[in-house]
Amino acid sequence: MKAPYIEILVCLLFAHIIGDFLLQTSADVRNKHRISVLSKHAAIAGVVSYAVCGLWKMWPIPLAVFLGHFLVDYAKVRLRRKFREQEPCLFLVDQAVHLLTLLMITYGLVILYPSSARNIWWINAFGPWYPRILIFMGGFILTVRAGAMVMEMAVRPFLVQLKEGAGSPQKGLQNGGRFIGQLERAMIFLFVMAGHPSVIGFLIAAKSILRFGDVRDRENRMEAEYIIIGTLMSFLLGLLVAYGARLLMSMLG
């Protein structure tokens, strides 16, 4: 895949991240079974994609993104009713299908508009750093914002077991664990993008020392396992997104 493909794909991916994780409200997610709400969300994705790409002659961009986003999310809403217990897996599959859809749209645009595909207005205006900035910003948002959603869904079963085992609500700051997780993933993303992944080892050691006093008692074994599982999931997610972002940047040449 050569640079024009990658540049358009980067723009579409960034627009998708903005539409799904910044411009989509909690009310939109809850009411997406309503065609009006789903259509609004898909329309926002289409408009943002067209604006971010800056390929003004490629008028099919908003239409293609709208149709693709609408169909994928419509299928997800229907499947969610049957697979509520597999919500994290359903979320990942949904995002993978969105990625596949954007790949198909990218190839279609380049085939239909071979000459215009190299004339992204924003690159002509601001230089070749534009797609790299989008990759960095998109990766950061994906790591922090989307990562919080994934982690919340992933550790939910363990949290239920923890509460049932303790017999009472857990003590601590409200949403404290979620905020700590966001900071962890943000730090991991920045470390990897800066070319210093070894620093992550110090981050793990520091958190282990800080948490040791809370989990050293045998009666707190469930809490210890919950913390370890959540921490490792958070680190893994941050690493995957960061290295994916670096791969995209390397493909730009």
Domain ranges of the chain: 3-127, 142-245
Tokens of 224: 């210890």
φ, ψ for residue 49 (rounded to 5)?
A: -60, -45
Cα(88)–Cα(70) distance, integer angstroms? 20
* pTM for this entry: 0.85
Cα(57)–Cα(61) distance, integer angstroms? 9
pLDDT digits (tens, 9 = 90+) for 137-154: 999 999 998 888 888 888
pLDDT digits (tens, 9 = 90+) for 153-177: 888 777 777 776 655 544 544 566 6
Q: Residue 147, Cα to own-chain centre: how many angstroms?
A: 6
For the chain, give the percent of residues with pLDDT over 70.
83
Residues 6+ apart with CB under 8 A from 203: 184, 187, 188, 191
Cα(110)–Cα(68) distance, integer angstroms? 17
For CA atoms 196, 200, 205, 210, give the dihedral sign: positive
pLDDT digits (tens, 9 = 90+) for 50-109: 999 999 988 899 999 999 999 999 999 888 777 666 777 888 899 999 999 999 999 998
3-state helix, strand, coil in the chain (%, to 5): 85, 0, 15
Q: Give the burial class of 203: count Cβ atoms within 10 A of its Cβ; 0-12 exposed, 13-18 middle, 19 or more buried.
A: middle
The CA dihedral of 125, 131, 133, 137, to the nearest 10 degrees, is 130
Asked if 228 and 208 touch (Cβ cutoff 8 Å), the reply is no
Cα(227)–Cα(216) distance, integer angstroms? 12
φ, ψ for residue 58 (rounded to 5)?
A: -90, 70
pLDDT digits (tens, 9 = 90+) for 16-33: 999 999 999 889 988 988
Mean per-residue pLDDT, 180-201: 81
